[in-house]
Amino acid sequence: MKKLLLSVLAMSALQGCVNRVGDFTVASTKNIDIKSEAHRVDTRRRVQGRDVIHIISFIPTGMYPSMKEAMDNAIEKAPGAVALSDVTVKRGVWYIH
């Protein structure tokens, strides 16, 4: 019974959620020429970009997480990439009470 009570207390102390913001066929923060046929799509490699702010004792370390920064981080992980395809944007938060 004590283990169950401790698990419930631990789960109530750690709370979070993730919301899907949107899905995009193609997304980029770079200037690209869409008429050029020089672009390639690499479907074998998946990349993930993040932009994070921390809240310490109710004081945020930044304004807001930026989708542009997260997208730039993901594009930089694939050498030579200028855009992302089949993009899913999620926003997540978690707290320790």
Query: pLDDT by residue (tens digit) across 13-57?
Result: 666 788 898 999 888 888 887 777 676 677 778 899 998 887 777
pLDDT for res 95: 66
pLDDT for res 10: 63
Neighbours of 49 (CB within 10 A): 18
**Average pLDDT over the chain, rounded to an integer:** 80
pLDDT tens for 48-85 read: 999 888 777 777 777 888 889 999 999 998 887 888 88
Prediction pTM value? 0.69
Contact 63, 10 (CB under 8 A): no
SS3 letters across 2-60? HHHHHHHHHHHHEEEEEEEEEEEEEECCCCCCCCCCCCCCCCCCCCCCCCCCCEECCEE
Mean pLDDT calculated for residue range 5-18: 68
pLDDT for res 85: 87
User: Is the pLDDT at 2 greater than 90, yes or no?
Assistant: no
